[in-house]
Structure 1
């Protein structure tokens, strides 16, 4: 599996308030999917896999968020997952979730630039910088959000909850191939995720074994008009 290059520090301050923006209006435009999660959970590797899998038959573009660098965008470019003109990098200069929930203007500008330069798109993936379990996307920025955690953090992660785990439209428990090495019980994670999330879906993923991220890819395809 390709390693994710995510250097933002984790943050432990509480979720300060609700979404300050109005939800996106229904219209004929690209489906916007937010992808968030803690540092090192595999967000950029997942984005790369989705770009490869979806771009065969869908018009895809990506916006990445990093605090002080364009490292995640550079990773995607080096690996040739999309042409360079389909990738935009946002340097947030602040706590990662600020740019995806509180002041979303830089991300909205990047999306607008992509749509103006490329024409009609089917899917835009918006990757957050690495953050903690409180990170959520504004519904004024994305239509749906995916939250990625990994088994290396321990099987207690879903039990800890937090808005990212409990409210994301899709929870991805990533790097399942590492479970035997770190003593993580996938059955416990599945049980706790179900208890925290109710009817919201959870998928288990190993990009070592499934380089096309098939369950996540299929979930996104089911949302594309």
Structure 2
């Protein structure tokens, strides 16, 4: 890792589908570590600051350390295709509250293929939850397969949704070629301690300059519907072509963004 990256705050991305508990996980991280390290948070929503308001109301950090980015587009756009808004927000946070040890960046809720650009974050957590089904970990995708940590969240709900947590963790571990998987409940002290230890280990490696950000790979092709019932197939490849939504959005292009 370049020295300049090691000298700034660790940037930790948190991604996953809608409703898996990304904001709750970030609140858990803040509660576990706010007395030890200096943290800032950036949330991403398409048109609101709902997640930022949730975290502020939870009282996990000083409200000024939690800022919102309204992406105005597909959630993955601001974390992979054009990360400018999030990079500026991270730099502003680090400047305003220097020195920060870590900036946590929450993606808007997306599908199983969501990944952060390594140009934005140094490490990334992908979040699933038991309420999404015990088989979801077997479905794979770059986030599940290659994020630095996969969290199987809300394990306390497993008895109510008929999910075998050990089997789900085993499936996830197989899908990840033995990369780390953490079964987490915010009500389970042991799992929260394991999450805290993982974050501190990554932070120490970042500070030492030994942590190298990994790119989980581009998102898989997926379809976006427009309001008129049409839409487009969205893939992430080099040689992007400009595109526009049928609703009249301005045409835009990204380095790894193409629409056939």
TM-score (norm 1): 0.86
Are residues 1:63 and 2:42 paired?
yes
Residue of 9, 12, 24 corresponding to 1:33 = 12
Instruction: Report the secondary structure of 1:222's partner residue.
Output: helix
Where does residue 170 of structure 2 map in the other structure? 191
Where does residue 72 of structure 2 map in the other structure? 93
1:1-225 aligned within 5 A: 26-210=5-189, 213-224=192-203, 225=207
Where does residue 12 of structure 1 map in the other structure? none
Q: Which runs of 5 or more structure 2 residues have no equivalent in the other structure? A: 208-260
Cα distance change on mapping 1:65 and 1:55 into 2, 3 Å: same
Where does residue 223 of structure 2 map in the other structure? none
Where does residue 224 of structure 2 map in the other structure? none
Higher relative contact order (CA 8 A, sep 6+): 1
Query: In the aligned structure 2, how far is the partner of 1:137 from the partner of 1:98?
Result: 10
TM-score (norm 2): 0.75
By how many angstroms is 1:94 displaced? Answer: 0.8
Cα distance change on mapping 1:50 and 1:156 into 2, 3 Å: same
Cα distance change on mapping 1:61 and 1:88 into 2, 3 Å: same
Q: Which runs of 5 or more structure 1 residues have no equivalent in the other structure? A: 1-22
Residues 76 and 110, structure 2, Cα contact 8 Å, conserved in 1: yes
Cα distance change on mapping 1:57 and 1:187 into 2, 3 Å: closer
By how many angstroms is 1:210 displaced? Answer: 3.4
Cα distance change on mapping 1:121 and 1:53 into 2, 3 Å: same
By how many angstroms is 1:24 displaced? Answer: 10
Query: In the aligned structure 2, how far is the partner of 1:62 from the partner of 1:211?
Result: 24
Residues 53 and 212, structure 1, Cα contact 8 Å, conserved in 2: no
Q: Which has the larger Rg?
A: 2
Instruction: Report the secondary structure of 2:78's partner residue.
Output: helix
Query: In the aligned structure 2, how far is the partner of 1:38 from the partner of 1:83?
Result: 27
Residues 33 and 146, structure 1, Cα contact 8 Å, conserved in 2: yes
Cα distance change on mapping 1:24 and 1:153 into 2, 3 Å: farther
Instruction: Report the secondary structure of 1:101's partner residue.
Output: coil
Instruction: Report the secondary structure of 1:35's partner residue.
Output: strand
Query: In the aligned structure 2, how far is the partner of 1:212 from the partner of 1:62?
Result: 22
